[in-house]
């Protein structure tokens, strides 16, 4: 019996590719850069499964080009690059990898918080530029405290909850805003639910952990930044378009807020001419929130499990469109 044909849109760890090859006829896109839309359609033409990254746009045209496609397995949580409605119309299962990324993403979000507050990246650059000439001065390199401050979490999902746990270790008061109030977590961790506006007004740190949807596009813009404290720090480890980059530049440049930390930008990659890159009070990294070895390995394995389950008409470990199960007779 022929093995199902699958497309892997990026190189993965060798042991993961070995696992995939055991049960499938696998084609791996060899380049670091993603295939073009036309190349992707050609690659998908005879495939039953595809394992994607956020850089691969799986839209209606891509789905139309792949009549045999059974499952799209996303390496990561976000699926805004996949047309879920069109996939569901075609009874194509879509899987993602929640859970395995939350701790690593919270780690880097908290690293941003600390780095921006205590000017770590700025100080490192200062030393490397050989500008450290005076050993110590009591008024030099003053930042803001992390401990005993207020952290506002926007989006209390898995990553948001991991941020709560880290914040409590620094004696921080935690307030949150989320689509759904979670009174059980309030009781367990001593956190408080507030409105979005109140969160912006009270927080020393605002950390964004929402999914990217039309409702969260530019969730933080000029009006929201003007509500925040002058000493506040904004952290975005969610999706780039959740924050209006022009408004953020103006707020940082005018010191409307103190600093920011971004693991995601809009667009990605950030343009070399982006004015945000001229500022010292911002830390920016290249979307590396889940880039820890064990986390990335576990994410890959979960994506493979989702793809394998979809090929075998079984329930995925995490399915974005479970309504397809009933259409396919999967129980």
Contacts of 47 (CB under 8 A, 6+ apart): 5, 6, 7, 27, 66, 68, 69
Do 141 and 10 share a domain, yes or no? no
Mean pLDDT of the chain: 97
Do 173 and 38 share a domain, yes or no? no
Average pLDDT in the 46-56 region? 97
Where a domain ends, among 265, 284, 303? 284
Do 74 and 115 share a domain, yes or no? no
Do 123 and 263 share a domain, yes or no? yes
Do 164 and 222 share a domain, yes or no? yes
Do 47 and 149 share a domain, yes or no? no
**Would you please indicate which residues are annotated as catalytic (active-site) residues?**
239, 268, 287
| Residue 142 pLDDT class (50, 70, 90 cuts) | very high
| This prediction's pTM | 0.92
Do 258 and 206 share a domain, yes or no? yes
Look at the chain and report how many structural domains it folds into.
2
Do 106 and 244 share a domain, yes or no? yes
- The answer, yes or no, to whether residue 264 has pLDDT greater than 80, is yes
CA distance 158 to 163: 9
Do 107 and 86 share a domain, yes or no? no
Do 88 and 116 share a domain, yes or no? no
Q: pLDDT digit string (tens) for 89-116?
A: 999 999 999 999 999 999 999 999 999 9
Q: pLDDT digit string (tens) for 17-47?
A: 999 999 999 999 999 999 999 999 999 999 9
Range of the structural domain that residue 269 is part of? 102-284
Do 157 and 261 share a domain, yes or no? yes
Q: pLDDT digit string (tens) for 274-316?
A: 999 999 999 999 999 999 999 999 999 999 999 999 999 999 9
Q: What is the CATH number of the domain that holds 250?
A: 3.40.50.720
CA distance 65 to 95: 20
CA distance 94 to 58: 11
Do 272 and 129 share a domain, yes or no? yes
Three-state SS for 85? helix
Q: Which of 307, 330, 325, 321 is nearest to 16 (CA)?
A: 307
Residue 216: its pLDDT value, please? 97
């Amino acid at each position: 019996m022929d093995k199902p044909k699958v497309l892997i849109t990026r190189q993965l760890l060798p042991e993961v590719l070995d696992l995939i090859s055991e049960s499938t006829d696998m084609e791996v896109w060899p380049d670091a850069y993603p295939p073009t839309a036309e190349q992707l359609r050609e690659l998908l033409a005879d495939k039953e499964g595809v394992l994607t990254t956020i850089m691969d746009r799986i839209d209606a045209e891509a789905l139309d080009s792949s009549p045999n496609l059974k499952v799209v397995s996303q390496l990561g949580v976000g699926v805004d690059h996949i047309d879920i409605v069109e996939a569901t119309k075609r009874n194509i299962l879509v899987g993602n990898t929640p859970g395995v990324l939350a701790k690593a993403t919270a780690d880097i979000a908290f690293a941003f918080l600390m780095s921006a507050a205590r000017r770590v990246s700025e100080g490192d650059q200062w030393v490397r530029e050989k500008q450290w000439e005076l050993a110590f001065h009591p008024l030099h390199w003053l930042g803001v405290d992390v401990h005993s401050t207020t952290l506002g979490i926007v989006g209390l999902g898995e990553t948001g909850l991991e941020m709560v746990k880290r914040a409590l270790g620094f004696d921080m008061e935690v307030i949150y805003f989320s689509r759904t109030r979670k009174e059980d977590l309030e009781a367990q961790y001593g956190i408080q639910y507030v409105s979005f506006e109140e969160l912006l007004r009270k927080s020393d740190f605002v950390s964004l952990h929402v999914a990217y949807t039309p409702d969260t596009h530019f969730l933080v813009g000029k009006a929201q930044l003007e509500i925040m404290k002058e000493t506040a720090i904004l952290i975005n480890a969610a999706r780039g378009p959740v924050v209006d980059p022009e408004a953020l530049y103006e707020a940082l440049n005018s010191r409307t807020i103190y600093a920011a930390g971004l693991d995601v930008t809009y667009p990605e990659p950030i343009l070399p001419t982006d004015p945000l890159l001229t500022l010292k009070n911002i830390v920016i990294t290249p979307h590396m929130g889940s880039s820890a070895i064990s986390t990335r390995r576990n994410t890959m394995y979960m994506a493979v499990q989702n793809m394998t389950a979809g090929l075998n008409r079984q329930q995925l470990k995490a399915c974005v469109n479970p309504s397809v199960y009933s259409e396919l007779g999967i129980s």
